[in-house]
Amino acid sequence: MLTKDELEFLKSQSLTTSDVYDGRGQSSAAWKAGVRAAGQTVVIGTPCKEKGHRLRTRSGHCAQCDTAKLGYQKRHNTEGYIYIAGSRSAKLLKVGTCVDIEQRRKNLRHQAYGNITDWEMLFTVKVDAGGRIEADALSRLAKYKVVRMYEKDGRKQEAAEMLKTSFSVALAAVQETLKGVKASEIRKSLRWADYEFKKL
Ligand SMILES: [Zn+2]
């Protein structure tokens, strides 16, 4: 079913035919759901306009024209923790992903992310596709987004993942994105009520 070029491409990406979902003849919605349900990495489907390649990423980009898209997909789907952190001094929250929770808490404080040094981890959960869930949750919370400049390594940086809302609002958005997702090691701080910054 795959051409020699396609097999070589898979090999170059450390993938095999078992990572390929056959989405030929299916609607875009059908194969996008199918490849995720099957836990596979690439889809064989309609050829790309540029070069007629058939292998696509889960989101439909040509995997062969731009291999960076597969790299992005991989990071997006890496196992890790989703977290909600909060600052009482700034009355702000932050949703993010990390591999090591305590290390991230220390880094946020040490770097004074958003000029804030009292970050606490309020909620953490282990998931398979941290980046995607983070992006989903942040899009649900977009109207609460706050951007602040801060200094990192002597340079001005944008702290773009902060939210001006209550912990329970952020938690509800994260939980909504977790529906139907395998989640484990769920931890919620006993002090979450100190982070209900806005009346609902
Ligand atoms: Zn292509």
- Separation of CA 19 and ligand 1 centre (Å): 18
pLDDT for residue 161: 75
- Separation of CA 118 and ligand 1 centre (Å): 47
Query: How far is Cα 73 from Cα 184, in angstroms, rounded to an integer?
Result: 22
pLDDT for residue 199: 59
pLDDT for residue 82: 93
- Separation of CA 133 and ligand 1 centre (Å): 27
In 10 A of CB 28, how many CB atoms?
Answer: 13
- Separation of CA 11 and ligand 1 centre (Å): 17
HSE-up of 68 (CA within 13 Å, CB side)? 1
- Separation of CA 128 and ligand 1 centre (Å): 28
Retrieve residue 99's tokens. 């591999």
- Separation of CA 46 and ligand 1 centre (Å): 10
pLDDT for residue 8: 93
Spell out the residues 6+ positions from residue 26 whose beta carbon is closer than 8 angstroms to its own.
Answer: 34, 45
- Separation of CA 29 and ligand 1 centre (Å): 20
HSE-up of 175 (CA within 13 Å, CB side)? 10
Q: Which residues pair with 156 in a beta bridge?
A: 151
- Separation of CA 76 and ligand 1 centre (Å): 21
Tell me the longest C-alpha to C-alpha distance in the chain: 61
On whether the CB atoms of residues 125 and 181 are closer than 8 A, the answer is no
On whether the CB atoms of residues 81 and 99 are closer than 8 A, the answer is yes
Determine phi and psi for 174, rounding to 5 degrees: -65, -45
- Separation of CA 47 and ligand 1 centre (Å): 7
Q: Give me the tens of pLDDT residue by residue for the chain, a chain 200 residues long.
A: 899 999 999 988 888 898 899 999 999 999 999 988 887 889 999 999 999 999 999 989 999 998 888 877 776 666 789 999 999 999 999 999 888 899 999 999 998 888 899 999 999 999 887 777 888 899 999 999 998 888 877 888 887 779 999 999 999 999 999 988 888 999 999 999 999 997 54
- Answering whether pTM is above 0.85, one says no
- Separation of CA 13 and ligand 1 centre (Å): 15
